[in-house]
């Protein structure tokens, strides 16, 4: 039969079966599968495109050249010749002194900026304490500085007062609220003092040996920036590097976990929907045995019967895929709304890739799990009209299902955007199918001996066992479908619970939100006593600066390594500490904790891997001109997100207690006791108290918003499970 005659008949059959409710379950399963895949796809795609567009704001430019020495002016000229925007910054730590009271000082993170800063992102300032911040395109005027509000509190100053930096006195003009490129290096948590680059020389703060970071900021059209970057990379000198966007790690890890979990949710929803599609298609085929037998009796060819039902399923499949894509697009807005203030910028519209992935998901489900039962319908014998016990042949569908599974697994790997998650999910699904099929087959075998006992079990049991034994393949398929669906739901529920708990534990409500640094040895006892008087128990840890100079009596330097991170690590001083017992929040992964009185040390496993250090290696550090050598006896896993004081290297007190040191403390300060910060600074003006409350609250908000998005998407899986 020609297509022009088959198509109208297929459309009539589609309308009839839809009204009869035969196709609604199949369509619902396809809509849920496509919507779950496309909603996550649209969300991730928009966030990715937005990050590509806006990520440079966290650098303050499209490209940043960072250097330990002054950057040649020729690079500015080359950038200008390429029609690129240019700005410069110079950052370094320095003591700020109150012009009112010379005894009031504070360690600050000084930043000198040139006109045009920042090239990307926004700088926000306030005119006085308590006023809302506002956007500005200006930089401090000559003779003015903009400062953090924390510095005003530490030095008991206000806008309009004077502040001394080195040999120059400045007027405090504004309060810095937000810097796009502040970063998360530890020194950047110190109070900011921002000044005009032309005022820097007058301070006389930079001398030989000063720890200064010079940055050249470049922005412009992407091709021109890339060309400039390529030429600059060829001429990089020692101590220079092109900075890339590391983002904000405390946010990035949370979002990466959320993205992986959202991908897992969509995959499991698609899997459950696949089971629903297969079950609905089989139910459809069983209900159309009589009509197929009648068409065979009326002379319709087997191929035409298959074409009729294939066209019917294709029509309903296309409609379901379109509806699923529309629902997925609408749902991704709900997910964006659940993320709330986490995404504060207008995101670009998504690409077509998520829609293509969702459409492909629907077609693969349709072809792989719905067509095999339909292919059986053409083999229904005409004898079915007279003998209702004649059913579907069972031996010809396995190959179709295997092909469908293979295509479905390939789709999972493509749409997951995470090869590991895709492989684990697909492998688990395949393994579950095999295990559940074997268990179902064994159950059927075990039921066989019970047929002789049916008289004692009652008529219901007798009919049930007989029905199962008559159609063993159908029984196995139904059992496997139910088991796979329940497995996916239980797996997702357990994973969701564990993930939420992990997020909550990563940022507990009582995590330290204050760091106190620059505590001198003769102040340690008094500072600890003052903090304890407020009912807060916090240990103070010694912090010693030392440079790694030898490994196993062989000199090491940046030239000893090829990895950029390793070169940077050995080119600066480490934060060392000493203590008798291992920190409770560190876990020893290899070796043993050292014994006091021995020349031994414990090293963080990440830096050990980067520098190629193994257990038993002897490390020599230069500490204020004195050399200390110790052998590595243990590797530690450090959770750098714990908001606690952590160190790369820890040694016994006997090795370092006489070395020049300062102390650091981390503790949780309730809002009701916030005056403790001011009291500490008043009693010990040299201290720097770093308030992490704003960052900590932002992390908590991010976690709550991501959990809300995950919970919402979880509904898709529940709906698929109900189907």
Its domain, for residue 46, covers: 3-54+252-505+706-722
pLDDT at 289 over 60: yes
The overall longest dimension of the chain from CA atoms, in Å, is 108
Highest mean pLDDT out of 53-62, 131-140, 202-211: 131-140
The rounded percent of the chain whose pLDDT value lies above 70 is: 73
Domain assignment present for residue 675? The answer is: no
- Per DSSP bridges, beta strands 105-113 and 85-98 are antiparallel
Task: Report the SS3 class of residue 690.
Answer: strand
pLDDT at 395 over 70: no
CB atoms within 10 A of CB 395: 9
Highest mean pLDDT out of 90-104, 191-205, 249-263: 191-205
Task: Report the SS3 class of residue 634.
Answer: strand
Specify whether 45 is located in the same domain as 68.
no
Domain assignment present for residue 265? The answer is: yes
More confident residue, 719 or 86: 86
Specify whether 604 is located in the same domain as 711.
no
pLDDT for 306 equals 77
pLDDT for 69 equals 85
CB atoms within 10 A of CB 249: 11
Judge contact between 708 and 127, C-beta under 8 A: no
Mean pLDDT confidence for 254-277:
66
Cα four-point dihedral sign 178, 184, 186, 188: negative
Domain assignment present for residue 72? The answer is: yes
pLDDT for 485 equals 65
Specify whether 376 is located in the same domain as 406.
yes
CA dihedral of 197, 203, 207, 211, whole degrees rounded to 10: -60
CB atoms within 10 A of CB 551: 19
pLDDT at 282 over 80: no
Concatenated DSSP letters of 4-23: HHHHHHHHHHHHHHHHTTTT
pLDDT in tens, 425-436: 777 777 877 888
pLDDT for 247 equals 42
pLDDT at 248 over 50: no
Phi, psi of 165 (to 5 degrees): -125, 115
pLDDT for 40 equals 73
Specify whether 608 is located in the same domain as 640.
yes
More confident residue, 722 or 180: 180
**Residue carrying structure tokens 């296309």:** 318
Token pair of 449 as six digits: 């001996």
Alpha helices in 340-379 (DSSP H): 353-365, 371-377
* pLDDT-wise least confident of 236-240, 257-261, 294-298, 682-686: 257-261
- Per DSSP bridges, beta strands 192-196 and 240-243 are unpaired
625: left (phi over 0), alpha (psi -120 to 50) or beta: left
SS percent in the chain: helix, strand, coil, step 5: 55, 20, 25
pLDDT tier, 463 (very low <50, low <70, confident <90, very high otherwise): low
Specify whether 176 is located in the same domain as 218.
yes
Round to whole Å and give the CA distance between 708 and 705: 5
pLDDT tier, 6 (very low <50, low <70, confident <90, very high otherwise): confident
**202, 227, 244 — which closes off a domain?**
244
Specify whether 45 is located in the same domain as 64.
no
**Residue carrying structure tokens 């650098």:** 59
Specify whether 464 is located in the same domain as 320.
yes
Specify whether 108 is located in the same domain as 129.
yes
pLDDT in tens, 195-221: 999 999 999 888 765 678 999 999 988
pLDDT for 589 equals 93
Domain assignment present for residue 313? The answer is: yes
More confident residue, 482 or 650: 650
CB atoms within 10 A of CB 406: 13
The rounded percent of the chain whose pLDDT value lies above 90 is: 21
Domain assignment present for residue 406? The answer is: yes
Helix axes 398-415, 249-287, angle to 10 degrees: 160
Q: Give the closest residue to 241 by CA, choosing from 607, 556, 545, 571.
A: 571
Round to whole Å and give the CA distance between 140 and 172: 10
pLDDT at 530 over 80: yes
pLDDT in tens, 666-702: 888 887 887 887 788 778 877 777 777 655 665 566 5
Query: CA 496, 498, 500 angle in degrees (round to 5)?
Result: 65
pLDDT for 244 equals 55
**Residue carrying structure tokens 């080359």:** 78
Specify whether 234 is located in the same domain as 322.
no
pLDDT tier, 383 (very low <50, low <70, confident <90, very high otherwise): low
Round to whole Å and give the CA distance between 636 and 586: 6
CA dihedral of 499, 505, 506, 511, whole degrees rounded to 10: 160
Token pair of 663 as six digits: 């102390």
**244, 277, 304 — which closes off a domain?**
244
**629, 649, 669 — which closes off a domain?**
649
Round to whole Å and give the CA distance between 656 and 662: 12
| 615 half-sphere exposure, CB direction, 13 A CA radius | 11
Question: How many structural domains are present in the chain?
Answer: 3
pLDDT for 187 equals 47
Specify whether 556 is located in the same domain as 459.
no
Domain assignment present for residue 124? The answer is: yes
Specify whether 237 is located in the same domain as 274.
no
441: left (phi over 0), alpha (psi -120 to 50) or beta: alpha
Task: Report the SS3 class of residue 160.
Answer: coil
pLDDT at 188 over 60: no
Judge contact between 530 and 680, C-beta under 8 A: yes
Judge contact between 179 and 123, C-beta under 8 A: yes
Average pLDDT along the chain? 79
Round to whole Å and give the CA distance between 250 and 699: 7
* pLDDT-wise least confident of 76-90, 266-280, 448-462, 517-531: 448-462
Domain assignment present for residue 535? The answer is: no
Domain assignment present for residue 696? The answer is: no
Q: Give the closest residue to 354 by CA, choosing from 319, 317, 327, 318.
A: 327
Specify whether 214 is located in the same domain as 97.
yes
């Amino acid at each position: 039969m020609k297509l022009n005659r088959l198509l109208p008949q297929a459309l009539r059959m589609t309308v009839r079966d839809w009204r009869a409710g035969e196709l609604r379950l199949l369509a619902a399963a396809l809509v849920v599968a496509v919507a779950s895949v496309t909603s996550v796809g649209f969300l991730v795609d928009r966030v990715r495109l937005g990050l590509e567009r806006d990520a440079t704001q966290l650098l303050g430019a499209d490209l940043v050249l960072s250097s330990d020495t002054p950057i040649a002016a020729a690079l500015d000229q080359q950038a200008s010749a390429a029609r690129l925007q240019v700005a410069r910054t110079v950052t370094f730590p320095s003591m700020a002194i109150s012009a009112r009271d010379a005894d009031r000082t504070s360690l600050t993170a000084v930043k000198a900026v040139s006109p045009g800063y920042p090239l990307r992102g926004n700088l926000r300032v306030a005119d006085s304490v308590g006023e809302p911040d506002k956007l500005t395109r200006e930089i401090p005027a000559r003779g003015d500085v903009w400062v953090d509000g924390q510095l005003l509190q530490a030095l008991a100053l206000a806008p309009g007062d004077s502040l001394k930096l080195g040999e120059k006195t400045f007027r405090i003009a504004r309060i810095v609220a937000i810097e796009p490129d502040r970063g998360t290096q530890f020194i950047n948590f110190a109070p900011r003092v921002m000044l005009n680059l032309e005022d820097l020389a007058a301070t006389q703060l930079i001398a030989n040996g000063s720890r200064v970071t010079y940055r050249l900021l470049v922005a412009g059209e992407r091709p021109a920036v890339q060309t400039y970057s390529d030429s600059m990379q060829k001429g990089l000198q020692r101590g220079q590097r092109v900075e890339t966007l590391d983002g904000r790690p405390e946010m990035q890890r949370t979002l990466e976990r959320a993205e992986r979990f959202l991908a897992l949710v969509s995959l499991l929803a698609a899997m459950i929907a696949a089971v629903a599609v297969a079950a609905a298609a089989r139910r459809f085929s069983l209900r159309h045995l009589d009509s197929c037998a009648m068409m065979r009796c009326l002379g319709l060819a087997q191929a035409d019967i298959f074409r009729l039902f294939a066209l019917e399923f294709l029509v309903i499949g296309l409609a379901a895929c379109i509806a699923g894509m529309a629902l997925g697009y609408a749902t991704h807005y709900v997910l964006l709304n659940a993320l709330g203030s986490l995404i504060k910028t207008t995101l670009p519209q998504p690409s077509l890739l998520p829609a293509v992935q969702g459409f492909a998901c629907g077609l693969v489900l349709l072809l792989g799990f719905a067509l095999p039962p339909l292919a059986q319908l053409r083999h229904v014998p005409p004898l079915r009209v007279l003998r209702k016990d004649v059913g579907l042949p069972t031996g010809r569908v396995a190959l179709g299902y295997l092909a469908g599974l293979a295509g479905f697994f390939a789709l999972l790997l493509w749409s997951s955007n995470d090869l590991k998650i895709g492989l684990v999910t697909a492998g688990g699904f395949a393994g579950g199918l095999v295990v559940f099929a074997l268990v179902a087959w064994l159950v059927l075998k075990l039921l066989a001996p019970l047929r002789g006992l049916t008289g004692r079990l009652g008529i219901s049991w007798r009919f049930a066992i007989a029905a199962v034994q008559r159609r063993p393949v159908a029984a196995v398929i139904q059992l496997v479908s139910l088991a796979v669906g329940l497995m996916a739901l239980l797996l997702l529920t357990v994973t969701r619970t564990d993930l939420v708990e992990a997020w909550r534990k990563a940022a507990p409500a009582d995590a330290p939100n204050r760091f106190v640094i620059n505590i001198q040895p003769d102040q340690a006892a008094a500072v600890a006593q003052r903090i304890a008087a407020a009912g807060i128990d916090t240990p103070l840890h010694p912090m010693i600066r030392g440079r790694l100079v030898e490994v196993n009596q062989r000199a090491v330097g940046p030239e000893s390594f090829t990895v950029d991170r390793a070169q940077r690590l050995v080119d600066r001083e480490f934060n060392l500490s000493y203590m008798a017992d291992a920190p409770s929040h560190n876990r020893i992964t290899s070796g043993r904790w050292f014994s006091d009185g021995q020349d031994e040390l414990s090293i963080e496993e990440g830096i050990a891997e980067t520098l190629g250090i193994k257990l038993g290696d002897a490390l020599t550090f230069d500490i204020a001109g004195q050399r200390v050598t110790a052998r590595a006896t243990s590797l530690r896993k450090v959770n750098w997100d714990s908001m606690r004081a952590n160190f790369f290297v820890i040694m016994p007190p006997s090795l370092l207690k006489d070395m020049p040191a300062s102390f650091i403390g981390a503790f949780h300060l309730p809002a009701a006791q916030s005056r403790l910060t001011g009291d500490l600074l008043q009693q010990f003006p040299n201290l720097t108290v770093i308030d992490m409350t704003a960052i900590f609250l932002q992390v908590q908000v991010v976690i709550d918003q991501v959990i809300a998005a995950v919970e919402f998407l979880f509904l898709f899986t529940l709906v698929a499970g109900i189907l």
